[in-house]
Structure 1
Amino acid sequence: MKKIILIIFYISSVLITGKSYSQSAELTMSQVNDGTNIDVSIFIRRTSPVAYNIGEGSFVITLNNSAINLAGGTILTRGIFDFNSNANYGAMFTSLYGGTIGRSLETTLNVLPGGTVPETATLVGVLRFPITNSAANHNLAWHTTFSAVQTDVGDEIALTFINPGNSLLPVELSEFNASVNRNSVNLIWSTISEVNNSHFELERKIAGSENNVYIKLISINGNGNSTEINNYSYSDRNLNSGKYIYRLKQVDYNGNFQYYELDNFIEVGVPDKYELSQNYPNPFNPVTKINFQLPKNNFVSLKIYDITGKEISSLVNGNLIAGYYTMEFKADNLASGVYFYRLATSEFTEIKKMMLIK
């Protein structure tokens, strides 16, 4: 009789001291930060040897409430454990935990079986959060107490949580300014600290039209990790008269990025005199560019001649408004030698020489 009592006591002590799981998984996250929103991608990976299907799941994350609008979190993308991908599931949804404790991505299973959890990281879904303070740490982390995942038959899955690195924006920008010199815009920016800074991308679009999209002008390497002041610059040259908007995209080594915009648009005005510039490059083979400027609207002729005075090409022959212009001349079918180009309006005429060398 004593032996039976001892055996029962031993079994009971095992059940009390800890849970036993037959299945396990690893939860990971990645993030993309565009300065306005932070998008958090949630992944699951099976780590136990026997395959199983996922059922109910609460994937709960925490963020810095002084930097992120936790209540404004929404589902951006639904993964394979949603009814759109597997009709046995309900619609994936998101919930607040304790008001400011955390935000979850929830999976619900309506009918067996659920979807298989692969041995490679598989997207559960993407949550989007508005950023309220772009200079503060976002402190993205798993809430290990509230996060829980079950198999489709109700067995609890042992979870391992992998937190991403701190999402403090890697660059502290001290200035971003632009100045105009004729039809060139000179842009400068400086940083007083950089962490994990891969590079900057400078982008431009024409102001005043919703259909205009930003175009990438240049990519400039960052200084990685630095606590010193670093200065950067770029000259955007040979622009037409008009209004332009510039922005700076800072990208870290993890692919996270942040946009910085100038406070106002930049205007390239109308020149105050006629001018014909020397072609560039010169000598050339076989393409060169010719810049000229008009202080007022006028009928304009820009033509190319060979050394005998024979007209070879007409680049412009019509009315142009005041502004800065760049024309491209292609000499693929011409022989090496000296050529001339002539700009003519009702008030101005000038001729310049150029050299084609093949």
Structure 2
Amino acid sequence: MPKFLHYVLFLFVIQNSFGFTQDELQQLISDKGDQKLLEVIQLERDEYCLIYSENNFAGPVLKFQMLRQTTSSYDLGMGGQLTPKIFSKQENVSMTVVNSQLIFISWIDHRRDPEGDVYGQLIDRNGIIWNNEGIPIADVNGKQAEISSDSDEQGNIFITWRDYRTDADGNIFSQKLNLFGETLWKKDGLPVIQLSGAQYKPKAVSDRNGGVFIGWVDKSNSSGQLYIQKIDKSGTKSFGEFGKFVSNPSLKTEDYRLFFNRNSGLTIFYTSISSTKKMFVQKLQSNGRRELSAFGSELLSSYDNFEISELIQFGDKFLLLFTVENDGSKIIKAQFLSTKGFFNSSISQVLSNNCSDILNPMVSKFQNDFLIYWSCSSKAGKKVELYGQIISENLQLQLKENGAMFSDLDFKSSDKIILVWNSDMRITAFSDKLHNSERDIVTFAVTRPFEGNFSIEDFDVSFYDGLAKIRWISLHEKNGVSMVLERKTSFENWEVIYSIDVKEKSEKKIRYFDDHLIHHGNYEYRLKFIDPEKNVKYTPIKILSVNVDDEGFFLFQNSPNPFNSSTKITYKLLQSEKVKITIFNSRAEELFVLLNEVQESGTHEIAFNPLSDLPSGVYFYKIQAGKFFDVKKMIYTK
């Protein structure tokens, strides 16, 4: 009988002291077959979703596992196959975190077409999946591949992919979904570009207003030129039929990254190759106008054989992580960027000549610090070890100059390792390390004390479906902190619409609030926060101009949604009518009548408080008022 290798998913805890300590290994998943870790998604406060693939008779299938950190270990929540009713080959995964309650995953699925179709799945923080068979996004003849996805604060989800249905070289298609998994654009995808010749490497980034920017490399009339198209919220192209070119047509585009920020617009970083490799940056305004030169500004060209490892955005700045050759070794360098080029005068050498090869450099950010980590193949032998470095935004090294060894376990180059910050500043590592009875598994830890002052970041207000969608990030929450959300209108002075008294400590938390708006005009919002010493500060005022339709009947989306204890349903009546609001389950079975009475014209609101025995899941609410009726979906998560 052949002997098969057995992969398991492990967890390493790297605690916070500048010395090293050993800890027990906690084995998370050990099923039959090989598991390959794909991604670790961090949700609210020490909650994680692990996405991994597992080989079975059909090939790799996608699975997930929810888990929560406790004081000394991890508690496993719900988990299993992304499509419990379907056993087929699943690959080429893309993920986006819609909000702290919801994750969207898309992949290529071979259940019907051996060449592959595009499917998706929604998972909430409790591990409840949307559909046992997945959501069909492009279920057509012809190969689909190279998926990219993104989402926005309004709950819109965007997927783009390379599609061979009409061209053997591949074109670019896209689709938009809402929070209920419903496709909003053309069935089986909206064609972004359909030209003879290859279009490939599609990438999507939301414009935070219901639309999406899509990039691709085009070989139809060049050696590989980078193009950008903007699709607005209705599915209409904004940059002409063929998009806007970004790169020099005489150079071959190797790779690129897209970033969008409400203040700075779309920023594009790309690398091109001719006789040498170069890196450029370009900015596009919403109307497609280039802010820099025709092909952007040059950033990197002085290094031979540089490779871009990571590029992440924080505010209007970026951290670039790249590797370069140095006397037969590779070293990692970090640089902070602005859209005008380098804004820090020095380049930090994160790792010196300790490695003959550097594998999989990655970055994890927490507040003003960056954890950079990599696998290192030592010069002395074939051993692969885990190293890391912590740097601040001013490029100050927090650990020793060449980085700290986080683990001297004998890793393999194929082992995937993902590190994340915990709320108490511990660093947790997840790995699909090859394991057998002959190998010792250990964990290491390094910590640094961390205690910061309470503050608010990224206070933002947007409008969608009758709601002011308000979002902010609070840092270093502790007992005694209060947050008060205030609103001012043309007919009302400042009033409190939401408040929080913090009872437990949290290093970072994303908070949301939805405000129903039923009148035209300007709405002003500000957040007042009070620290334990009773110091009062305000965020800058955010102004929202709203044009609400005052005529006719209308049923608003319930808020909040998803919800776990109570939600509000708002509706408008043109005239006095008998109003009936009914709740249904996902099988369209009537559960109960929430309201059945005559009401006057105007805007009304009713609370829905589910009974304790109502299971989590998808529900519908229907309004009947005279000849008017409407139905909307809502998600209940306990």
**Which of structures 1 and 2 has the bigger CA Rg?**
1
Q: TM-score w.r.t. structure 2 length? A: 0.20
Which has the larger share of helix?
1
Q: TM-score w.r.t. structure 1 length? A: 0.32
Which of the pair has the greater relative contact order for Cα pairs under 8 Å at 6+ separation?
1
